[in-house]
């Protein structure tokens, strides 16, 4: 058996023309693989039949391609990939560069290498994702525990809306119909920003209410439906009108949102590669291969480059390189106030302990 395998290996390495047996339709048929292109051209067999013969040949003579070292699932993947390539493989063959068997042997070896790389990438990606899931489990558990399931059926800010002039909100801000004092005085509401609430109570109501409105509009990109409804209740505002105005402010930020998303995607990709190279370095530390030392030097250079990129992009995002907040001018237009007043309210909010920069 060993002698047969060595002989087959020598035959493949020398790439000589030989006769091989392949199964088709339940009976044995002797076919020289190098004659398949001629048989197709002469019409003796169809391209589809030739592809079937080649598929069976790969399964029957798996040792030639080294497929005996892999399980049935991997061999099946090779055959599926070959069949997916279809009869186009015959169009790529050029007899000027060698025999058809040489071409087909290289094609199968290429498929094997591609699948091995794909499996390796998948294993590495799964490893990174599993480690990340373990690391962030406590954060996700806390986030899910804080979900208010009563809000699931509430309407979200519409993607399609009717543009509304800000006159209604401008009038509401001057009408004196606010109820913020009642919310500031409420003691049975669990408020995470207790210090802010105490500071707001020290201000005149007409100042406190405008600060809350300005902060809400400044956070238009992130504000939730529940928060919008609370604002409407506090200030006696029409819900549809406020939804539409907030959506208008969000639309102005769409281009900046796309740029920030691109930056976040680059940051995430850099972090993934940082984790990937960390995993590869750890594997090379345990490797006894001769070239492991030099491979490790190469991987470390890539690791350092991606780590620096990840840290730089993270720093940019943390420093607000691209912020998603409406301009003071946009908010002033909505509220019917001057830009200086908006700046004054934001500065006052900052002094009260609100960190929105």
Q: CA 166, CA 306: separation in Å to the nearest integer?
A: 47
Domain boundaries, the chain: 2-127, 149-253+325-351, 255-318
Tell me, what DSSP letter sits at residue 235? H
Q: Which residues contact 300 (CB under 8 A, 6 or more apart)?
A: 277, 281
Rg (CA), the chain: 34
- Residue 104's pLDDT is what? 93
Burial profile 75-89: b = 16 or more Cβ within 10 angstroms, e = fewer: bebbbebbeeeeeeb
As a whole number of angstroms, the longest Cα–Cα distance in the chain is 98
On the 0-12 / 13-18 / 19+ scale of CB atoms within 10 A, 310 is buried
pLDDT at 16 over 60: no
Q: CA 277, CA 302: separation in Å to the nearest integer?
A: 7
Q: CA 184, CA 212: separation in Å to the nearest integer?
A: 11
pLDDT per residue as tens digits for the range 235-251: 777 888 888 888 888 88
Q: Give the pLDDT band (50/70/90) at residue 162.
A: low
Mean pLDDT estimate for the chain: 76
pLDDT per residue as tens digits for the range 264-304: 899 988 988 888 888 888 888 877 777 778 888 888 999 99
Residue identified by tokens 């050029």 is: 94
Q: Helix, strand, coil shares of the chain as percentages rounded to 5?
A: 70, 5, 25
Distances (CA, A) of 221 to 152, 214, 217: 19, 13, 8
- Residue 20's pLDDT is what? 37
- Residue 198's pLDDT is what? 62
- Residue 103's pLDDT is what? 92
Q: Give the pLDDT band (50/70/90) at residue 308.
A: very high
């Amino acid at each position: 058996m060993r002698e047969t395998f060595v002989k087959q290996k020598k035959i493949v390495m020398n790439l000589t023309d030989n006769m091989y047996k392949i199964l088709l339709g339940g009976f044995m048929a002797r076919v020289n693989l190098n004659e398949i292109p001629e048989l197709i051209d002469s019409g003796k067999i169809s391209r589809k039949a030739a592809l079937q013969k080649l598929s069976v040949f790969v399964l029957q003579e798996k040792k030639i391609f080294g497929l005996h070292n892999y399980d049935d699932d991997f061999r099946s993947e090779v055959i599926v990939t070959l069949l997916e390539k279809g009869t186009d493989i015959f169009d790529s063959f050029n007899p000027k560069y060698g025999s058809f068997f040489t071409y087909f042997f290289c094609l199968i070896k290429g498929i094997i290498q591609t699948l091995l790389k794909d499996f390796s990438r998948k294993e590495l990606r799964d490893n990174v994702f599993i480690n990340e899931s373990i690391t962030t489990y406590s954060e996700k558990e806390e986030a899910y525990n804080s979900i208010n399931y009563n809000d699931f059926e509430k309407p979200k800010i519409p993607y399609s809306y009717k543009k509304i002039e800000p006159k209604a909100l401008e009038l509401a801000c001057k009408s004196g119909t606010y109820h913020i004092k009642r919310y500031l005085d409420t003691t049975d509401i669990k408020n995470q920003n207790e210090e802010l609430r105490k500071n707001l109570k020290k201000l005149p109501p007409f100042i406190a209410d405008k600060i809350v409105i300005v902060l809400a509009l400044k956070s238009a990109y992130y504000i939730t439906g529940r928060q919008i409804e609370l604002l409407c209740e506090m200030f006696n505002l029409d819900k549809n009108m406020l939804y539409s105005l907030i959506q208008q402010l969000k639309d102005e930020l769409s281009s900046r949102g796309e740029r920030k998303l691109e930056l976040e995607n680059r940051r995430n990709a850099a972090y993934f590669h940082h984790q990937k190279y960390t995993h590869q370095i750890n594997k090379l530390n345990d490797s006894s291969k001769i070239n492991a030392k030099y491979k490790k030097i190469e991987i470390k250079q890539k690791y350092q480059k991606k780590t620096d990129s990840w840290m730089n992009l993270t720093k940019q995002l943390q420093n607000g390189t691209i912020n998603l907040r409406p301009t003071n001018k946009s908010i002033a237009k909505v509220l019917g106030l001057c830009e200086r007043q908006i700046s004054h309210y934001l500065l006052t909010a900052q002094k009260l302990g609100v960190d929105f920069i």
